[in-house]
Chains A and B, each alone.
Chain A
């Protein structure tokens, strides 16, 4: 069981690295998007979609392995500290941010300038939420 939960933790950390590809990579693409004329944007949007796919795989891994570890290592969420529950709240907010970004991205690709300008702050919010999740995880589990 220890070996299994160690492997789960390894996958969890790899999920974090995969998630980082989208969380930190897409703002880089976003900065280029802002500086690019509308006709050049589809190219950069398709790169952003690629990085988002990597990030979604990471997010899936984090949620799946996180849930399994909570049950296998700690016997469930009962007895977890406030930091753990803060982490869960931030996780839900990050999920909502990811879903909302996907919707705004579709509108921006269709030429909606207002949606286009909303993408950068939403991306930065994702970075802040990810850093908050990691901080609360460190304080919850040591």
Chain B
């Protein structure tokens, strides 16, 4: 059982790294598009789409392994502190921003300049939410 929960925790942390490719990679590509990559929108957007897909896969792995670790290591969710509850709120918030990002990405692809601005703001929000999720996790389990 200890090996199973360690392997799950490994998958959880690996998914955090994979998610980093989307949360930090997409703004990095977007930043590049607004500077040296200006005029290379098709290449930039295609990469951002692929990185976002990786981020969704990572989110899925985190959502599956998280509860499994909670049950195997801690016997369930009872007894967790307020940091854990805060983490869950931010996890839901991240899901909402990911859905909003997908909607605004589609609008941006259709040429909506306002949606493009929203997309950039959501990239920053995603970074902030990820920072808060990890911070809450550290204080909940550390």
Chain A residues, Cβ within 8 Å of B71: none
Q: How large is the interface on B (under 10, 10 to 19, 20 to 34, 35 or more residues)?
A: 35 or more
Chain A binder among B30-38, B87-95, B97-105, B113-121: B30-38
Q: Is the CB of B17 within 8 A of A54?
A: no
A: residues with CB less than 8 A from B are 6-7, 9-10, 13-14, 16-21, 23-25, 28-29, 32, 40, 43-44, 46-47, 50-51, 53-54, 58, 130-131, 134-135, 137-139, 142
Chain A residues in 8 Å Cβ range of B124: none
B47 at interface by CB-CB < 8 Å: yes
- Chain A residues with CB below 8 A from B50, complex form: 28
- Which residues on the B side are within 8 Å of A134 (C-beta)? 10, 13-14, 17
A137–B13 Cα distance when bound, in Å, is 10
Residue B125 is within 8 A (CB to CB) of chain A in the complex: no
Number of residue pairs A-B, CB distance < 8 angstroms = 109
Q: Is the CB of A51 within 8 A of B28?
A: yes
Whether the Cβ atoms of A10 and B43 lie closer than 8 Å is no
Q: Can you pick out 19 interface pairs between chain A and chain B where the beta carbons lie within 8 Å of each other?
A: A13-B138, A16-B17, A17-B20, A17-B130, A19-B20, A25-B21, A25-B25, A25-B28, A25-B54, A32-B46, A43-B40, A46-B37, A47-B28, A47-B32, A47-B47, A54-B25, A131-B14, A138-B10, A138-B13
CA distance in complex: A130, B137 (Å): 21
By the criterion CB–CB under 8 Å, are B6 and A130 in contact? no
A residues less than 8 Å from B122 (CB atoms): none
Q: Which residue in B17, B23, B28 is a CB contact (below 8 Å) of A50? A: B28
A6 in contact with B17 given A43-B40, A43-B43 (CB within 8 Å): no
Nearest-Cβ distance from residue B98 to partner chain A, whole angstroms? 15
> Contact between B31 and A18 (Cβ–Cβ < 8 Å)?
no
